[in-house]
Amino acid sequence: MNNVLGTKTRLTEYFVQLVQEKKQSVKQNWYGEDWPDWDNDWDNSWDNSHGDNPWEDWNEWSDWNNS
Amino acid sequence: MFTKSGSYIIKVTGNCNLYCPYCYHFSGKKRVPKSTLSIDLLESFIEQAVELTPDKVWFIWHGGEPLLAGIDYFKRIVAIEERITAKRGTKFRNSIQTNATLVNHQWADFFQAHDFGVGVSLDGTKEIHDRNRVYFSQKGSFDQTIKNIHLLQDTGLRIGILAVVTKSSLGKEREILDYFLQIPVRSFNFLPCVEIAENDCEALPFSITDNDYAEFMINMFDLWTELDDPSVRVRYFNSAIIGLLGLTPPSCTFNGTCGNYVTLNNDGGVFPCDNFINYKELKFGNLQESSLDTLLKGDVRHDFYEASKVQRAECEICDFQTACHGACRKYSYIFRKKLSDPNFLCGSRKVIFSHIAGYLEENIAGYKRPSVPKAVNLADIKIN
């Protein structure tokens, strides 16, 4: 049976919720693209295969474009 | 166009106590004497990195095997960071990738005390792991690695696992997943073993094909979805699902950013990423000769960055472009040293993404998989 989010599994419910939540934090990066705020996604920080940067914050660092 | 980085991979040593034939550092050489990054140069690098992003800096400690540098080396690193934090308020985040064979109580307590994110390289069960992850004596490292994973976990550290998918892994998806959960570890990722011979365009014999990788990942995805447990995290799947649901994922291999993990090699060389450490033409320069700021603003980085942003022709017509963003650029570059080349992983990505999109369609009411983002005249497409 579908839950209120229209998802049938715990996995899909989790990801739909995650995406909805992260969409609230979307900013524009310095390409003008929408970019979610993954700043506090600490769970990813163990993975050292040049992957998830919990501190990506394009707005904060965008000033360097002009330097 | 330039960007500050804020996240750096530091190769503290080129040496390793293992002799894995598939390693991208493996070149048939024995250990190199004096290969540990000078602590004075490292201190200068840390200070320069803080100048660029004073609020926060993330270091990912790599090797070789970084623990070969010794615990006193890392204590000095933490002392440098603490001195800077006291003076400037900078927040540091430290992660380390290790084979864990050298971990002891002292290391485990150190990582726990200083909140290191610890990733352990483990390919699966003993049979799979010991096929490649061997000491110079050819003895397998599995027993030591597992023993020390438990040592790390006993301190309360939550570790993650990076597993290389080799020919030995194929068809063993259930064994691998069950074993990881049994350890227990709940965060892991699977990296394809793809290496080529120097000055050659041929994949080395132990490399897997993109079809192999696709089959492995699809089987693993099905097993993972059977668990139906979001606390079990497989980064590839997490990133792909986030992308397929229309949001930019955090992983550079899924969001199209490249070169934001600026890498300091143990000899002072600075590269766009440790995936490109073997390509001297992509070296920004050496920290012993130029400042970090100068190297990051240099022509090599500029040209690399611009080239990495160019969307390849095959991506223009791909349904999954907005979720994939062209995969890790290493897999375009490795064969002919062209970032614009077709990506080795492209075929596997399409199959895996299609499979995952099917799962989402089946389990989310009203979900529609992405479609080609814009109309493209096929006659205009040229594959280089």
Q: How far apart are CA B245 and CA A7, in angstroms?
A: 13
Residues of chain A neighbouring B159 (CB-CB closer than 8 A): 46
A32 part of contact set with chain B, CB < 8 Å: no
How do B7-11 and A34-35 pair as beta strands?
A: unpaired
Tokens linked to B33 = 């004497």
Do A34 and B162 count as a contact with CB atoms less than 8 A apart?
A: no
With residues binned 3-state (H G I as helix, E B as strand, rest as coil), the percentages for chain B, rounded to 5, are 45, 15, 40
SS3 A45: coil
Tokens linked to A19 = 């995406």
Are B359 and B225 in contact by the 8 Å Cβ rule? The answer is yes
Residues of chain B neighbouring A32 (CB-CB closer than 8 A): none
* Residues of chain B scoring pLDDT < 70: 1-5, 24-34, 198-201, 372-384
- The pLDDT of residue A57 is 33
User: Which of A16, A38, A46 lies at the smallest CB-CB distance from B119?
Assistant: A46
Query: What's the pLDDT tens digit per position in B265-304?
Result: 999 999 999 899 989 999 999 999 999 999 999 999 999 9
Are B282 and B295 in contact by the 8 Å Cβ rule? The answer is no
- The pLDDT of residue A47 is 47
Alpha-carbon distance values, B149 to B62, B97, B98, B127, B142 (Å): 18, 13, 11, 17, 10
Phi, then psi, of B53 in degrees rounded to 5: -135, 85
ipTM of predicted complex: 0.88
Query: What's the pLDDT tens digit per position in B24-57?
Result: 665 554 555 668 999 999 999 999 999 998 988 8
- Tell me the DSSP string of B42-85: HHHHHHHHHHHSSSEEEEEEESS-GGGG-HHHHHHHHHHHHHHH
A14 part of contact set with chain B, CB < 8 Å: yes
- Nearest-neighbour CA in chain A from B197: distance (Å): 22
Q: Within chain A, how many helices (H) and strands (E) appear?
A: 2, 2
Which has the closest alpha carbon to B239: B362, B349, B86?
A: B349
